[in-house]
Every structure is written in structure tokens, then in C-alpha cells.
Chains A and B, each alone.
Chain A
Amino acid sequence: MIRSPHYTPKHEAFREAVRDFMAAEVVPYFAEWQAAGRTPRELWLKAGKAGMLCTKMSPAFGGGGGDLYHSLIIIEEQTRVGFNELTFYLHSDIIAPYIELYGTDEQKERFLPRMARGELVAAIAMTEPGAGSDLQAIRTTAVSDGNDYRLNGQKVFISNGQVGNLICVAAKTDPQAGGKGISLLLLETDGANGFVRGKNLNKIGCKAQDSSELFFEDVRVPPENLLGGVEGQGFPLLMQRLPEERLIMAMSAVANMEEAVKEAEAWLAVRGGIDGARAKLADCKIKAKIGRAFLEDAVDSFIEGTFDTTEGAMIKWWTTQRQNEVIDECVQMMSVDGYRMDNVVTRRFADSRLGRIAGGTNEIMKDLIGRSL
């Protein structure tokens, strides 16, 4: 339930469908996926069938025609069941909108319906060994050979790097031009010569998320796969989706702290608490309450069109920071049980550490907020 004048019974009905999907198609299997380090393609096909993908996309392309709440509901419900690392949002809410909002008509027709059905699983390849939050420093190039682009370079930490078969690659089409030389190229990986998936990185948490290295060696990309058909648009496009991504991360953070607190409280009720557990619990609940009020207000602002970069940075920094503090206390309250990976709180602890790093580190967030002083 999200408290807002914009939140309707239709959204709540969608939430029920998401819960059913999580219970039937995710919860029974996710331990297996975590062991495998990735989600299977079948999950994406099932999700497509059940209307869990591309919920905001126009029905004309096979999408759900929904709004931000649909994205938030999915992230909230997957977090509730303890599967933080599911990357539907990346596919549906970050990458599909790039194509739907900025792609050519032909690109929309070619990619969007297959994305909605889960036949194409999308990844976005921005980060490189030498360029993380500082995107302008990327070194991957896409230089035209007269007919096609030739893609050369290396990416790292790419989510959906193993399962993905549509990679949106940030590369410099003008290597001399800094940020203005960055373009986005849509690469279908099936049969792409010179494309190699590297290591699936062994992370602290988010085990089923296939954060991978990707290598491009003279990979041929036809010019009609240049997103939007115009070079040099990559950097501003990538910046435009960030506030929304930060709201989604904030939703995950808030749901994660709320659940961890409930789980720790239930544990305390059975096992009895350590000294001062009640005060700790209260501190955690207070942070979660403020976090939810903060998030819901930010979502309202987003829907009303007043949400800006500073607010995006504030909500992302605050919620992911507090999330770690709260879940750390929950681990502490549960004593050694808080250190076992078969305990969902322990996994939340490990998974949520990523929140302060991903989507622009929290130091970058503070830098952005600092500029508004």
C-alpha cells in the first residue's frame, strides 16, 4: 500500500497479481538461482506472460500501460519476499523507456514487443574498469567502418550480463568528444561475433544477479541499432532516467528495512531480546517510518512533475544509508542467527550494501546535494 492521492484500487489489484507471481514463480526457486548466480530465461518468459515486464510501456507495443506505481509495486513485493536482486526494473523501467522514449519508430517495433514478452532480456552496459559513476571517462568505442559500427572495449558490473540478449552499450562514437561523444548502441547478442561474456562476478550479496564482465572485439553493429539514430545523445539520455531509478532504489530500501524490522521483531518475540533491544527496535522503526513518508512524498512529487535531481539524490542517499544502519541493527539484535545465510535478514544485510554504491555512489549523491547549498 502506498499512501497517495494518485494511488488507486487498480494499483492494489496489480499488487495482488505481483504477490501471486512472486509466490508461485519466484519464491520456490530463488535459492536455486542464487546458487547458479543468475536467473533463467524461463523466468523472464513467464514474467512476460504474466504482465510483470514493461508494465509502463504503451499497450501498442505490448506493454502494461501503467505508471511509476507499477514499477514500485514490483520492487516492493520482490523485496518483501527477500529477493532483492531481481532485475525486472532494469529491463522494464530503465532500458525499455530509453527505446520507447528516444528510439526510432523502427527500433520500437523491432525491440519493444519482444522485451514485453521476455524474449529479449535487456542489460545496460555503462560501467567500465576505469569508469564507474564517472561515465564520461568510458573508453569503449563504436567507430563506423563506412557501413557498420565496430564496437571495441570492455564493460564490468553489468547486471543481466549472463542472461541478457539485448545489450544497450554506452560507447564513444566520437572518442575525442568526452561526454558529448557518447552514444547508445543496441546489440542483440545472438550470433554477434566478437562479443564475449566474461566472469560472472562473485559479489557480497545479490547472488542471483549476474553482474558480469563483457568484452567487445570488433563487434559489428548496424547503424539502425544506434538508439534514436543520432550520435552523441547517450550521456544526456542516461542522465534523464536517473531520478526515476533513484526512486526505485529508495522503494527497495524502504521495503527492505521495514521487512527486516518485522522479521527481527518476530524473532525477538520468540527468542527474547538482548539488552536494549526495545530501544534499538524503536530506532529502527523510526527510521523506517520517516523513510516511507519521505519516499511517498517524493513519488507524489515525481508524479506531479516537480521532482528534481537534488531530491533524487536526497532520497537515494537517505534511504540507502538508513537501510544499512537499520538492517545492521537487526542483524545485531538476532545475535548469531543474524549471521546465517539461511536467515533472510542476513541476506538483506548483504544484499542491501549495494544500495549505497549502485546508481551513483552516495558520495556522488552528497556532492549533488552539496551543489544546491
Chain B
Amino acid sequence: MSRSRLPLTESHEIFRASARRFFESECAPNQRVWEKDGGVPRAVWQRAGELGFLCPRVGENYGGFDADYLYSAIVAEEQARAGVVAPALSQSDIVAAHIAAYGSEMQKRALLPHIAAGTALGALAFRGHVTARREGQLYTLNGRTDFVVGGLDAHFVIVAAEAGDGKTLFVVETGKTEGLAKSKAIKKLGQAASGTVDLVFEDVRLPSASLLGEREELSAAQIAARLTEERLLAAAAAVATIERAIRITTEYVKERRAFKQRIIDFQNTRFRLAEAKTEAVALRIFLERCLREFLEGRLDASDVAALHYAAADRQCAIVDDCVQLHGGYGYILDYAVARMWTDGRLGKILACTDETVRDIVSVRA
């Protein structure tokens, strides 16, 4: 069942096995510690860099290995499969993709090898409102961006600012830029190790060399292209998370007993898990179709929006059911499903709101 119809080679499988080992043995056991610390040790990022997980699609001369998109999807999927929330490796993939696609040669040389090695961390600051005013060769940025995931430890952020009619992207170093203030880490429902902050820009002056690609106004289509990649990774992670929740819960209900029988011997249990499993199969099939069409360059934006929304939405619903099937233990944060419930709720909010996705689908499909 759910045989993969993706063009996966032996190299993909070797890469997958390596990612699985990394997440299972080097990340999963440390999640609680890193949550307590509010972040992931730098060495872990560098280790991920050594293993080639941070931006596999980037060209070899910039530190990547020119891999196809499936490698990025494998990282996202294996991370979710192991229940690893931090470090959020897909973030470096997406940040690097922006720079690789639109950056100037200088920006690529300055940033990509360090992103690939895990020595420079980037974050996307797209939410909120920042304006950029141009005076000669200088831009002045004012405003704030909210909820910058990974912003706490980031060495630089890509900021979307309003300049004239459209959005313009700037690369801003976070450590030594005057006028840029970073909030303390935001206390969130879950994902305590992801170092999420708000950024405030007060008369931040930037040279035109800080423009991503040293040009103004990336077209909406260009921004949408990166968003498609981001959505696909988020969906791959969501589907893997659903599968994990079902796996963990199925094991639990086979062991746990009530009223002299196993929980799985109640028809209600089997029905709910049967529904969840069917949803997982349907979503995986749709995910793989979208991945194939993406590789072939013919993925429709409304399809990826539909996939993203459905996967995030079902993830929350199914994990919620799994909490229920665990009974009281499902409410205890020592249990994986409780973590999945708090950590996973962000998926439905992030990358874009439900309503925006539904607009794309209802208008374009």
C-alpha cells in the first residue's frame, strides 16, 4: 500500500537513512533539554551541515550538492517522522533557496557556504509591516515584523519591506545593524526550542547592496515560487507527522487495557484509527502527486495550497483524536502525542493563514 510513485534512487535512500539516523539518535533524545534551554546548540547545526542536510539543492560551488527537491523533502519528512521540532532544518533550506534564486553573486558567496555548513543561520521576516524609503543609494527601514521563527539565533534575516508598489526583500544582519531591535524569545503554546522573536526596525539604514539580488521589487510570481517550495516541505512534514501519530497511537492502544480488553478491541478505536489511516494514505498520495508535478515544473499553485491546507488541517484533527485515544496520558506532556498537539498547532497558522490558502483555492482552482 501507498507504494511511492516518486522518482527515488538509491542515493535518495542512502540520504534518507542518514537523515533518519541523525534525527533519531542526535536530535530526538535532546528535545526536552533544548526546549528548556530555549534553543539548539550551534554544534548541532554544524553537524547537520556536515551531513549535507541544510541546503542540499544549492550548487556545489556554494556548499550544497546540487540535489533535486526530493532531498529537501526527505529532510523535512525524516525530521517529522522522528518527532524532532528543533533544529528546524527546512528553514535553512528555504532561506538558502531565496538567496540562491535571487541573490547577487556577492550575496551567494558570502552567505550560502555558511548556511550549508551551519555556521550562519538565517530567518525569514515576512509577517508584519516594514516600509523602506529610498534616498540615493541608501534605504531606511521602519516598522516591525512579528513572529520570526528562528530569529533569536539568526545571524541574518530576509525582511520583506514595502517600497513603492510592491514588496522588496532585504538581507539584514541582526547582530550589528543599528536601529534593529530583537525581542526576547516569545513564549509559545509549543515549539519552545525554536527561538521565535519580534523584530523592530527604527530608522535602519541599509546600502542598496543589502537588497536581495541588489534589485527592487521582486515580482509576486517570484515570491510565490519560493512559497510553493515552503508549502511542499510543510506538507511533507505534516503528512509524516500524521503517520507518526497513527503509529504511536496504534502501538499504545494495543498495549493499554480497559474493561478487561485492549483499547484497540473497542470498535470506536478501530474506526477512528481506520479513518485516520485512510486520511494519511489519501494525503500521501496527493503529496506525492504534487511533488512529481513540482519536479516536472507543472505544479499548480492552487494544488499546493490545497495540499498544504488539507495536510495541516488533518494533522491537527488526527493528532487531536490520538490524544483522545490515549485518555488522560494524552494530556501529559511526557507523552509524544501531547507534544504533537501543542507543537503541531502552529502548522495550521504558519506559512500563511488558513483563510489565505482557502482564497487561493477558491479563486484559482
Q: Chain A residues with Cβ under 8 A from B45's Cβ?
A: none
- Which A residues, 263 to 310, have Cβ-Cβ distances below 8 Å to chain B? 278-279, 281-283, 285-287, 289-291, 293-294, 297, 300-301, 306, 308, 310
Do residues A289 and B365 form an inter-chain contact, with CB atoms below 8 A? yes
Hey, which chain B residues are within 8 Å of A370, CB to CB?
267, 270-271, 273-274
Interface 9-mer from A74-82, A172-180, A338-346, A361-369: A361-369
A372: B residues at CB distance < 8 A: 277
Q: Which residues of B contact A293 (CB under 8 A)?
A: 282, 285-286, 289
Tell whether A124 is near chain B: CB-to-CB under 8 Å. no
Could you show 5 A-B contacts with beta carbons less than 8 Å apart?
Answer: A278-B362, A285-B302, A306-B3, A314-B277, A373-B274
B282 contacts A318, C-beta separation under 8 Å: yes
Q: Across the interface, do B270 and A366 meet the contact criterion of CB distance under 8 Å?
A: yes
Q: If A279-B358, A294-B282, A297-B5 touch, does A289 touch B306 (CB 8 Å cutoff)?
A: yes
CA distance in complex: A239, B17 (Å): 40
User: Are the C-beta atoms of B278 and A297 separated by less than 8 Å?
Assistant: no
Q: With A308-B1, A311-B1 known to touch, is A279 a contact of B306 (CB < 8 Å)? A: no
Closest 3 CB pairs of A and B: A370-B270, A282-B358, A369-B274
- Which residues of B lie under 8 Å from residue A306 when comparing CB positions? 3
* Chain A residues engaging chain B, CB cutoff 8 angstroms: 278-279, 281-283, 285-287, 289-291, 293-294, 297, 300-301, 306, 308, 310-311, 314, 317-318, 363, 365-367, 369-373
Known contacts A283-B358, A366-B274, A290 near B3 by CB under 8 Å: no
- B264 interfacial contact with A, CB 8 Å: yes
CA distance A373 to B363 in the complex (A): 39
Q: Find chain B residues with CB under 8 A from A369 CB.
A: 274, 277-278
> B281 at the A/B interface (Cβ < 8 Å)?
yes
Q: How far is the CA of A372 from the CA of B361 in the complex (A)?
A: 34
Q: With contacts A286-B310, A301-B3, A373-B270 known, what are 20 further pairs, Cβ within 8 A? A: A278-B359, A278-B363, A279-B358, A282-B361, A285-B361, A286-B309, A289-B365, A290-B283, A290-B310, A291-B282, A314-B281, A317-B275, A366-B270, A366-B271, A367-B267, A367-B271, A367-B274, A369-B274, A370-B267, A372-B277
Contact B359 A285 (CB under 8 A): no
Complex-state Cα separation, A311 to B3, whole angstroms: 12
Residue on A nearest B360 in the bound complex, by CB = A282
Asked if A290 and B362 make an inter-chain contact with CB atoms under 8 angstroms apart, the answer reads no
Question: What's the least CB distance linking A209 to chain B, in Å?
Answer: 27
List the A side residues contacting B365 at CB < 8 Å: 282, 285, 289
What's the minimum C-beta distance from A254 to chain B, rounded to whole angstroms? 12
Which residues of chain B are near A314, meaning CB under 8 Å?
277-278, 281-282
B319 to chain A, nearest CB (A): 17
Residues of B within 8 A of A317 (CB): 274-275, 278
Tell whether, in the assembled complex, residue A289 and residue B278 are in contact, meaning their CB atoms are under 8 Å apart: no
Interface residues of B in 3-51 (CB under 8 A from A): 3, 5
Residues of A within 8 A of B363 (CB): 278
Q: Of the candidates A285, A290, A301, A373, which one forms a contact with B286 in the assembled complex, judged by CB atoms under 8 Å apart?
A: A290
Contact check, B270 vs A367: say whether CB atoms are below 8 A apart.
Answer: yes
Query: Which B residues, 269 to 303, have Cβ-Cβ distances below 8 Å to chain A?
Result: 270-271, 273-275, 277-279, 281-283, 285-286, 289, 302-303
Of the residues A279, A283, A289, A366, contact of B303 by C-beta under 8 Å: A289
A301: chain B residues at CB < 8 Å are: 3
Interface of B is mostly: helix
How far is A84 from B302 in the complex, measured between Cα atoms in Å?
A: 29
The residue of chain B having its C-beta at the shortest distance from the C-beta of A268 within the complex is B362
Given contacts A290-B306, A308-B1, contact A285 B279 (CB under 8 A): no
Please name the residue on chain A nearest to B269 by beta carbon.
A370
Output the least CB separation between B110 and chain A (Å): 41
- Alpha-carbon separation in the docked complex, A308 to B281 (Å): 14
B355 touches A279 (CB 8 A): yes
Given contacts A278-B362, A282-B362, A310-B1, contact A290 B270 (CB under 8 A): no
Whether a CB of chain A sits under 8 angstroms from the CB of B342 is no
Encode contact with A along B119-144: 1 for CB under 8 Å, 0 otherwise. 00000000000000000000000000
Contact check, A278 vs B306: say whether CB atoms are below 8 A apart. Answer: no
Instruction: Give B285's nearest chain A residue, CB to CB.
Output: A297
Closest to B359 in A: A278
The answer to whether A278 and B358 have CB atoms under 8 Å apart is yes
In the assembled complex, how far is the CB of residue B324 from the closest CB belonging to chain A, in whole angstroms?
16
| Alpha-carbon separation in the docked complex, A290 to B235 (Å) | 13
- Using Cβ atoms and an 8 Å threshold, which residues of chain B touch A289? 286, 303, 306, 365
Q: How far is the CB of B210 from chain A (nearest CB, A)?
A: 38
Q: Does B250 contact A (CB under 8 A)?
A: yes
With both beta carbons as reference points, the residue of chain B lying nearest to A319 in the complex is identified as B282
A372 to B5, CA, bound (A): 22
Whether A290 touches B1, Cβ cut-off 8 Å, given contacts A366-B274, A367-B270, is: no
Q: How distant is the Cα of A369 from the Cα of B274 in the complex, in angstroms?
A: 5
A102 to B208 CA separation, bound complex (whole angstroms): 78
Chain A residues lying within 8 Å of B283, measured Cβ to Cβ, are 290
Query: How many angstroms from the CA of A281 to the CA of B279 in the assembled complex?
Result: 20
| A279 cross-chain contacts in B, Cβ below 8 A | 355, 358, 362
- List chain B residues, Cβ under 8 A from A366: 270-271, 274-275
When the two chains form the complex, which single residue of B1, B267, B277, B279 contacts A373, counting CB atoms closer than 8 Å? B277
The smallest C-beta distance from B183 to any residue of chain A, in angstroms, reads 32
- Name the distance in Å between A58's Cβ and chain B's nearest Cβ: 30
CA distance in complex: A238, B302 (Å): 41
